Structures are given as C-alpha cells and as structure tokens.
C-alpha cells in the first residue's frame, strides 16, 4: 500500500524534474487515470493552474488552486513540501469551492461593470441634455457607445423629416457596401436590440452581411433603434474588430443609451419646431411678420436695402367665394412663386392676410423694380396654375439711412396702396418722398380666381 492511500486526499510525489514519481489511489481515482498511467507524466499534463484563483500562485508552498486539465470545472487545493528527492503535493477536493469562488469573481466583475455602466449612463444623460444640435448629440452617442462596449467603431444613423436617412456621427466600416436603411430596419421595425457575436450569425438576417463583415474585418456588432414614444429617429451600431460576446446586460445598456438619446432628440426637434413656428407663417411656411421686422431692423441703416410690399389683387373676393381652404392654397402658391422670382440673398415673408414683403440688399431702385417685374411676371404665369394680379410698392434706404424698419415698411405700403388705387396689377416706387408710377407690367385677368 502507498503511504498516502489511507488519506482522504491526493498525494503526488514529484521528481526534482517535475515528473510524477508516484500517486496515491485517491488522486488516481479523482483524475480518472491509473496510477501506472500517471507515473512519468509532467504535472502540467494532468493539472493546470487556475488563473482566476484568489490563492497565491504555485511558486510558494501553497495553498493554491489547480484544475483538471480535461475538465476545468473540477478543482483541487494544493500544498507543497520540498524534500531532497523532489516535492510532495497534498491535494484536497475543492470543486465546489472553486465554483463558488468563480461565481463570486463573476458577480464581483458584474457588479463592477454595472457600477461603471451606471456611471456612464448618468454622465451620458448630462451630456445629452447639453447638446444643442442633432449633430452634437449624435457625436456624443457615438463616443459613448464606443466607450461603453470597447468598440473600435460606433455609428449613429438618423431619419430626417424629409425622408432621408444619413450617417450623422461615427464611422461605417462597410463604406456603404451594405445599405444602412436595411440594417436599421432589422432593429427599427421590431424595436429590438440586435447583437451578433460573429459573421455567421448575420447570414440569415441580411443578404451579404456575413461576407461584408468578413471583408471589413468586423467580428461582432450590436445595434439598437432610437425611438421615443411613437417616433423613430434611426439607430446606433457599435462595431468590433475583435472577437466579442455579449453578457445579459449588453442589450439593456444599449436600450438605456438609445432611450436617453431619443428623448433628447425628441426635445431638440420639438424646440426646432417651436422656434420655426414662432418665426414662420403656418400657412405658407414663409418667415412671418415678426421675423421680417427683426431681420429688417438689423439691416436698415447698416447696409443698403429695398422693401417690396406685395398685395394680391382682389384676393378677398376669391377667399369669400371659394372659402378659406382654397384661399390658403392660393397663398401657398403665391408664396412659392415669390420665392422663385427673387435672388438667394433676398428675404420673402408673409406680412399678413394677402400681403407679402420682400427685402432685397440693394438701394438701386431700378434693381428693385426689376425684381418686382419678375414677381409680377411669375404671378401672371398661368402655365404653372392660377393667374394672380398684384399691386407692389417699393421703398429704398441707402447705407447709413436714418429711416427705421417700420418707416421703410410703411413707405412701401403707402406706395403699394397708390398702385392699387391706380387700378392694381402694377408697381409704384417711393423715391425721395414722391411716389412715381412705373406703369402696368402686364395685363392680368380682373379676377385671380
């Protein structure tokens, strides 16, 4: 009988070279090998060090943890005693303890990651709230997602009110080879987070995704939709050029980040709509009277400018006969034609009712009259729809003029009324006080209906 066979523990004698000289029955049974088979093997052929062990490593007397090389879920605690012939190891069954230690390590790591992620969410919430533009918010989201997942790249795609979807921040490793709309659809429609731990997982989700991932060197990705209440804003995707698996907190973290960003986007777009509504007419979409007067106050006296006051002839009769909905359609059409008639640097605004004002950066009366003539010509153009007649008054102010914005508008308004009193469908210019008739521009039907 071996001198260690009576012990409820393993005994392993090692030569000075580290080769197994003998083992007791307990260890042979525990390792599921015969004693004869074990003799002559290096210890490392049988056991491996537990790298996540809380105990010291195997260079001292111990104790330390070692694992069955063929079944890493089984463990022993090892102590060592040196002798002249070599070493004697005492091994105690520790599989349950190893699993408990491993679970404790995992829980500790998870708690650490959770704490880090909670801090990241708090920091990102503050950062999102300070963003003053969608571009800035998207940049914050891309940076935060990259740091949260240790991803090489992160991209933010946004849906725009005009129907476009664009890459607003971050990097697309596919360089457009995969349609971003189809990728976003994978998460937007079902409103779910998608995590792929390898190209093969993308094979059935999207045609061409797996080869594109391999070609781009992308090993994994996680994608999450950006939605708030019933509004879909797009999605963010984090890309990994290294092997990556996702724990059970990966999706909730992505959804929390996406939720914060989407809420901030909803606020930004609401602010944009409110700001637009405060300065624009809700019928024509043109700048309103308030915006016009603010812009004109900043211009008058600083630079030369001309004001064209445009009033649609006999609009009230048509509005009364056909109704306000028809009248609104006419106003929108008239606004579109005014915009088509002016230059890029000119401002077109709806002043109120059937009145529009055009501000041009010029004090040259002939240049202002040329713009007014283009306006009338387009209003008269029946090929594009309804024929409009209009009375237009012009007032100009050179740079350094003492006139105020209100005075300039009032002067142009007075000139417009003179044109209307003269029969309408013509232009009047107020030059140096007196109002001079430039004459009818073209004949227009007596009824804009």
- CATH number of domain containing 304: 3.30.70.270
Please write the tens of the pLDDT for every residue from 310-361.
999 988 877 778 777 888 889 999 999 999 999 999 999 999 999 999 999 9
219, 143: one domain: yes
* CA distance from start to end of the chain: 118
356, 401: one domain: yes
42, 141: one domain: no
123, 252: one domain: yes
What was the pLDDT predicted at 53?
56
157, 27: one domain: no
| Residue 50 near residue 75 (C-beta atoms within 8 A) | yes
123, 190: one domain: yes
Look up the CATH number of the domain holding residue 189: 3.30.450.40
Interior CA angle at 216 toward 212 and 219, to 5°?
A: 85
For all residues of the chain together, what is the average pLDDT? 86
CA pair distance 43, 79, nearest whole angstrom: 14
What was the pLDDT predicted at 307?
96
266, 295: one domain: no
Is 116 inside a domain boundary? yes
263, 328: one domain: no
pLDDT < 70 stretches in the chain: 1-7, 52-61, 383-385, 431-449
Residue 123 belongs to domain spanning:
107-276
CA pair distance 137, 158, nearest whole angstrom: 11
Is 448 inside a domain boundary? no
Helix (H) or strand (E) holding 435: strand 435-440
Is 76 inside a domain boundary? yes
Q: Cβ neighbours of residue 218 under 8 Å, at least 6 residues apart?
A: 173, 174, 199, 212, 239, 240, 241
Q: How many domains does the chain have?
A: 3
Question: In terms of C-beta density within 10 A (0-12 exposed, 13-18 middle, 19 or more buried), how is residue 430 classed?
Answer: buried
**Is the overall model pTM greater than 0.75, yes or no?**
no
What was the pLDDT predicted at 60?
62
Is 447 inside a domain boundary? no
271, 298: one domain: no
Interior CA angle at 140 toward 136 and 143, to 5°?
A: 135
Look up the CATH number of the domain holding residue 71: 3.30.450.20
What was the pLDDT predicted at 59?
60
């Amino acid at each position: 009988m071996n001198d260690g066979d009576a012990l409820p523990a393993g005994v392993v004698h090692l030569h000075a070279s580290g080769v197994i000289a003998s083992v007791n029955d307990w260890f042979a049974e525990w390792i599921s090998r015969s004693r004869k088979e074990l003799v002559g093997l290096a210890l490392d052929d049988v056991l491996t060090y537990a790298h996540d062990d809380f105990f010291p490593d195997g260079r001292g007397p111990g104790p330390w943890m070692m694992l069955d090389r063929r079944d890493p879920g089984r463990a022993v605690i090892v102590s060592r005693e040196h002798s002249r012939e070599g070493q004697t190891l005492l091994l105690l069954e520790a599989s349950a303890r190893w699993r408990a230690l491993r679970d404790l390590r995992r829980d500790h790591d998870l708690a650490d990651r959770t704490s880090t992620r909670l801090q990241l969410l708090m920091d990102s919430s503050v950062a999102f709230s300070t963003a003053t533009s969608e571009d800035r918010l998207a940049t914050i989201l891309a940076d935060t997602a990259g740091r949260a997942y240790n991803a090489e790249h992160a991209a933010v795609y946004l849906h725009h009110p005009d129907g476009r979807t664009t890459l607003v921040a971050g990097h697309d490793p596919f360089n457009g080879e995969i349609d971003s709309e189809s990728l976003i659809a994978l998460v937007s429609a079902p409103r779910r987070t998608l995590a792929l731990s390898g190209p093969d997982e993308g094979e059935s989700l999207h045609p061409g995704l797996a080869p594109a991932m391999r070609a781009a060197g992308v090993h994994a990705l996680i994608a999450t939709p950006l939605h708030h209440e019933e509004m879909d804003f797009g999605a963010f995707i984090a890309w990994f050029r290294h092997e990556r698996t996702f724990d059970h907190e990966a999706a909730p973290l992505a959804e929390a980040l996406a939720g914060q960003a989407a809420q901030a986007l909803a606020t930004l777009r609401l602010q944009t709509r409110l700001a637009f509504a405060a300065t624009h007419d809700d019928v024509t979409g043109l700048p309103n009277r308030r915006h016009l007067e603010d812009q004109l106050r900043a211009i008058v006296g600083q630079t030369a400018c001309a004001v064209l006051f445009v009033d649609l002839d006999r609009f009230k009769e048509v509005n009364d006969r056909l109704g306000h909905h028809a009248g609104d359609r006419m106003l929108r059409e008239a606004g579109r034609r005014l915009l088509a008639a002016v230059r890029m640097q000119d401002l077109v605004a709806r002043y109120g009712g059937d009145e529009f004002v055009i501000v041009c950066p010029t004090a040259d009366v002939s240049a202002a009259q040329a713009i007014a003539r283009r306006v009338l010509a387009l209003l008269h153009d029946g090929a594009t729809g309804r024929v409009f007649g209009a009375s237009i008054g012009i007032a100009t102010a050179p740079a350094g003029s003492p006139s105020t914005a209100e005075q300039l508008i009032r002067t142009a308004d007075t000139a417009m009324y003179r044109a209307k009193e003269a029969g309408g469908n013509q232009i009047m210019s107020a030059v140096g006080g007196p109002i001079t008739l430039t004459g009818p521009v073209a004949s227009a039907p007596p009824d804009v209906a």
